[in-house]
Structure 1
Amino acid sequence: MTAPSRRKLISACKTLAAADPALERAYQEIGVPEWRVGQPTYAALCRLIAYQQLSTKAAGTIWGRTEAMFGEVTPEAVLAADPEAIRGCGMSRPKVRHMTSIAEAVVTGTLNLQRVCASDLDSARKELVAVKGIGPWTAELFLLYSIGALDAFPVGDVGLMEAHKQLSGHETRMEIKEFTSHAEVWRPYRGVAAHLLWGWINAERAKAGGASPQA
C-alpha cells in the first residue's frame, strides 16, 4: 500500500496538536511523521507476530532466518513445513501455532485479506481478530501499516504510552485503560497520533544512541 498523502497527514497533525499538548510538542519537534508502510499479506501478519514482545534487534534476526528458510513466507509453505523447523528460526511454540492458525484461515477463506482491505475499519478489525493468533495489537498494526488506516490504534503499546508520558512531563505512564480513554480525543486520527509518538520517541532514543521501541 501507499502511505496517506502528506496533505492528509499535515491536516491530521494540526488537528491532533490542537487537541493534545503532548502531540503538539511532538509535531513541533519532528514535523510530519514518516508513515510505516507494509503490504497487506499473510507474511506481514507473521512478521508482526515475530516482533511481539521482543526487541527490534532480536525480532529482526528471527524474522530474517524465517524468510531465509522459506524464501517467501506463504500460508501454503508454512502449512507444509515442519513446525520444529520454524522453531529453529527462533520462533516460540505459541508463535508457530499462531502462524499455522492464520495460514489455515487464509487457505480456507475464513480470512480474506483482500476483503479486509476493502472493508470499513470496524469490519476489518472483526475479521482479523476472529482468527486465532491475531490479537487486537497485531490487527491494529496490520491496519496501520498494510492498509494505512488513519484511526487504527494499537491499545497497550508501551512505546506510545512512554512517549506520551515523556512529552507530557509526567513521572509515571498512564495505565492502559486510562491511556485508551485519553486517546479518544485523537479520533479519527489515532493512527496518526501513534506515528507522531513513535516518531518522537525514536528520534529521542536515536539521539541517546538507544534502540527503537517499535518494529
Structure 2
Amino acid sequence: MPVPPTPEQIAAARAALVILDPRLTEAQACVPVFEWRSRTGGFEGLFRMIVEQQVSVQSAAAIWKRVIDGLSGEVTPERVLATEIAALRAMGLSVQKATYGHEIARAHVEGRIDFDHLERLSDEEAVAKLVAIKGVGRWTADTFLMFCEGRTDVFPGGDIALQEAMRWADGSPERPKEKAANLRAEAWSPHRSVAAHLLWAWYGAVKRGEIVLENPPA
C-alpha cells in the first residue's frame, strides 16, 4: 500500500511548486506546515468516503460507527455484499449510499477492481477503474487516491474550494470550471496533490479569517 509523503517531501514539493508556478507564492508564504490528509485505504476507505459524503462531520462519524458495529467490525466487500440494503439502511445509510456500497463491493468481488492491489495501477488507470463503478464520481476517485492511497500527483478539479483558491492565485474574477481547473493544475505536476493540500489550507485559513488576501480579486 502506498504511503503518504513525509514532511520533508511535502516541504520540497511546496518549494518546487513556487518555481513551477510563481502564482502560488502568496499561498506558499501564508500557509504554515501542514500534514497530509491520510485515511484508511482499500475497499473500506472508499466505502467510508461514500457513507460520509454530504453530511456533517459529526453525523458522518456517528453513521460510520453504526456501520462498523452493524458489520461486527468486518468492513469487507464480501460482508457488505452479504448485508441486505434494508440492513445497511438501518445503520443510517440512505438507499442510494447502501446501493453504492453494494456496487463497490460487487466490483471487487467480481474482479472489476482489486482494492488490495490498486497501487499496481497508474493514476489514470486507477481513476478509470474507480469511476466505472456506479456511485463513484471523478471527485471521489481523485480524493480517494490522494487521501487513501497517498498518491502525490492527482488533482480533484471539481472541488469548489480548490477552484476558489485557484481564482485567488490567478487574480481571476471567476472560478475555473472543473475541466479548466484540471488543465490549470497540469502545470503543478508531479506535485498536484501537494498543490491541492496547499490550496485547501489557504482557502480554509482565509475563510476562518486567519489569513487576509494580499490582492483579493474583484
Q: TM-score range by the shorter chain?
A: 0.7 to 0.9
1:1-26 alpha-carbon deviations (Å, 9 max, x no partner): 53212332222111212334553222
Q: State which of 189, 192, 216 in structure 2 corresponds to 1:190.
A: 192
Distance 1:59 1:205, change over 3 A: farther
Q: Does 1:3 align with 2:7?
A: no
What is the CA–CA distance in structure 1 between the aligned matches of 2:66 and 2:104, rounded to whole Å? Answer: 20
Query: Within the alignment, does 1:112 sit opposite 2:114 as a pair?
Result: yes
**Residue identity matched to 2:191:** Y
Please report the TM-score for the alignment, with normalisation by the length of structure 2.
0.82
**Within-5 A mapping of 1:49-88:** 49-70=50-71, 71-88=73-90
The separation in 1 between residues aligned to 2:44 and 2:70, in whole angstroms, is 13
Cα offset for 1:43?
1.0
Letter in 1 for 2:67: T
**Greater Cα offset, 162-171 or 123-132:** 162-171
Q: Work out whether residues 156 and 182 of structure 2, in 8 Å CA contact, stay in contact via their aligned partners in 1.
A: no
Structure 1: gaps (5+ residues): 209-215
Deviations along 1:57-113, whole A, 9 cap, x unmatched?
A: 433333233223222322122112221222233322221111101111212222112
Counterparts in 2 of 1:43 and 1:189: CA distance versus 1, 3 Å: same
Tell me what 1:213 maps to: none
Alignment pair present for 1:200 and 2:202: yes
Q: Counterpart amino acid of 1:97? A: T
**Post-superposition shift, 1:151?**
0.8
Give me the whole-angstrom Cα distance separating, in 1, the residues matched to 2:91 and 2:198. 33
Q: CA deviation at 1:170?
A: 4.6
Seen in structure 2, the aligned counterparts of structure 1 residues 18 and 54 have a Cα distance that, compared at 3 Å, is: farther
1:194 offset after TM fit, Å? 0.8
Q: Percent identity?
A: 38
Looking at structure 2, the residues matched to 181 and 106 of structure 1 have their Cα atoms a distance apart, in angstroms, of: 31
5+ long unaligned stretches in structure 2: 211-218
Aligned residue identity for 2:182:
T
Could you say which structure has the larger radius of gyration?
A: 2
Whether 2:96 is the aligned partner of 1:100: answer: no
Q: Which residue of 2 aligns with 1:164?
A: 166
In 2: Cα distance, 1:195 partner to 1:185 partner: 16
CA RMSD of aligned residues (A): 2.3
- For the Cα contact (< 8 Å) 1:32–1:196, is it kept in 2? no
* Change in CA separation of 1:164 and 1:82 when aligned onto 2, cut-off 3 Å: same
Aligned mates of 1:58, 1:41 — CA distance in 2: 22
Maintained 8 Å contact 1:129/1:139: yes
1:163 deviation in Å? 2.8
Partner of 2:215: none
Q: What is the one-letter code of the residue matched to 2:68?
A: E
